[in-house]
Amino acid sequence: MRLLSTLVALVLLLLALPDGTAVAAEKSRLRFSGGPPGGTFEIAARGLTQRINEQRFGTEVTLAISGGSVENLRRVNSGEADFAIVYAGDLLLAGIGQLPYDNRIYDQVLAVATLYAAPAQLLVRANSTITGVEDLAGKRVAVGGIGSGTAATAQRFFTSVGLWDRIKPDFSGYQDAISALGHGYVDAIWVFSGIPTSAVTQAAKSFPVRLLDLAGPADQSGFYRQYPFFTRTLIPADTYPQVNQEVATFQDLAIWVAGSHVSAATVEQALAAALREAALIEGRDGILTPLHPGAETFWNAVEQP
């Protein structure tokens, strides 16, 4: 990818387009589907929405709360939402009809940009007798809300390591799960989000916690061969209070997507507006699925030698 100065120059060029010219055929209001309140999806979607609206290019974008990645896919595919954030793995599997319990093909959801990496995090109380994922057999594990990428990834991982049918999944959101872990109602919390995740920070401030190694069991089970969009990563020591050792795990990428019904010009201008806050956008590295035509044009121009 070119240097940030090149991105800024392109942003200024695109933002110089006459108001209304590029979006004349677009509806006047678009919906950006984020995630649960306070979660990383919601925070990122709010930031992108704000940046896009600040440019006032003729189309207002409104933020919508959602259950997460899988729900966002369905909303964008049906046209209920126009923009959203989806995990790269969910986006790839949805395009070939391999979402959990759902063999429909979602082919109207197109990638716009890579936003951030999201590591899997498996949290237990520090005094728990659970020292590895194999100890979770028969235990209650909060795996994320129904319709979330968190829960979908939990099912993929625990199925791969032979535990999905042996744990007791609890489909609670992060905030409820923290309270449940603190009171002993669940034995572990599965988190899938950018780090530091506010929910894990909150838990670590409320009571001592540990993070379990996930990379080792994934290696041994063939998880990466089955799901090549996941990559091994480390959560650095001191990412969370009193968690002073690095932990090996795996990650996926959070992808900004748009529906095929959104015009190419609107996607181009939305990207240009978002790049005024460059920290929100990583580029298009790691995207495994088709780009929206507007994003294709945008990134090709950015990456020209």
pTM of the model: 0.85
Tell me the H-state helices in the chain. Answer: 4-15, 40-54, 69-78, 88-94, 149-160, 174-182, 198-206, 215-221, 223-226, 264-274, 293-302
On the question of pLDDT at 286 being above 60, the answer is yes
Q: What is the DSSP letter of 154?
A: H
The share of the chain scoring above pLDDT 90, in percent, equals 73
4-115+254-302 belongs to CATH 3.40.30.10: no
pLDDT tens for each residue of 108-165: 999 999 999 999 999 999 999 999 999 999 999 999 988 888 999 999 999 999 999 9
| CATH 3.40.190.10 segments of the chain | 4-115+254-302, 118-252
Cα torsion 227, 232, 238, 242: sign? positive
pLDDT number for residue 282: 82
Report residue 276: phi and psi, to 5°: -65, -20
pLDDT tens for each residue of 92-110: 999 999 988 899 999 999 9
Q: What is the mean pLDDT of residues 168-179?
A: 92
CATH architecture of 118-252: 3-Layer(aba) Sandwich (3.40)
On the question of pLDDT at 259 being above 60, the answer is yes
